[in-house]
Structure 1
C-alpha cells in the first residue's frame, strides 16, 4: 500500500472508442514497471509494434526504466487502446516536466488523432456503401 502515498502524474488519452487513464510515478523508488489493467504491458499488448508505440514517449524523453506506469483502459480495440495509452502517457509526462513538451511534440506523441467511425446515412447500407444499382 506504499504506492498510494507516492506522487504521481495523471494523463487522459483517447483514440477512436478507447479511453485510457495513465498514471506515471517518477521518483527514486521507480523500477520501470508498466502495468495495464493489472497485467504486465507485454501480456496485455503482445504485438511487438504496440510495445514500441506505447513506450515511444518514454524513449523520446530518456525516461525508459526510470518511471512506473499504471494504466486503466476501456473501450475500443487493440490499436485504439494503444494510441490512447500513448497520448495519456505523453500528457502525464508534460505535467511532470513542461520542458519535455518539445521532444514529445516532435515525436508526434501529443497530437490527438481525431479520426472516428463515420455515422451511417439514411438510404445507405453503411456510412458510404450504397445499395446495388439495378437498371431493370
Structure 2
C-alpha cells in the first residue's frame, strides 16, 4: 500500500481500457514500464496486485493478455476496481488490459481476439421473480 499514487499516469503515453464482469467495473491504464500492477480498491487503498487478489490463478488471469501478446513485463498497470467479488474484478481487469493493449497497438487485436480476450463475458446473476424464493427456486406447493 502506498500513500501517494504508485504510478504517475501521463495521458500522452498511457492507454486506457474499461473492463466489466458481473457487477465489477475496472478502469485500467497501461504505460511502458517494468511489469508492475497496482490496484486501487473502492475503499481508496492502493495495493500491489499480488496482495489484493491473493490467489495465483487470479494473477495469471490478469497477465493473460500480456502473455498472448508477448509483452509480459513491458507495461505497468494501474487499475481502479469496484463492485462484485475479487474473481470478477480480476476478469474485469483482464478485459480492461486487453482493450488498453488494443488501443496501444491495433495489431494486438488479432491474437487477443483469437484467445477470446476481446469478448465481454455477459453472464450476470438472474433476477428474482415475484411469488418465488429466488430466480428459479419456488416455494413448496401444498395441495391441502
| TM-score of the alignment, normalized to the shorter chain, above 0.5 | yes
Normalising by structure 1, we get a TM-score of 0.92
Match of residue 129 from structure 2: 121
Matched, 1:42 2:47: no
Give structure 1 stretches of 5+ with no counterpart: none
Matched, 1:14 2:20: yes
Could you tell me how far 1:108 is from its partner in structure 2? 1.1
Q: Secondary structure at the match of 1:3?
A: coil
Moved >3 Å (runs of 4+): none
Q: How many residues align?
A: 133
Task: Trace 1:22-61 onto structure 2 (pairs within 5 A).
Answer: 22-26=28-32, 30-37=33-40, 38-61=46-69
In structure 2, the CA distance between the partners of 1:20 and 1:4, relative to structure 1 (3 Å rule), is closer
- Measured against aligned partners, the alpha-carbon deviations of 1:73-104 in whole angstroms (never above 9, x if no partner) come to 00011121011001100000000000000110
Normalising by structure 2, we get a TM-score of 0.88
Match of residue 8 from structure 2: 3
Q: CA RMSD in A?
A: 1.5
In structure 2, the CA distance between the partners of 1:116 and 1:60, relative to structure 1 (3 Å rule), is same
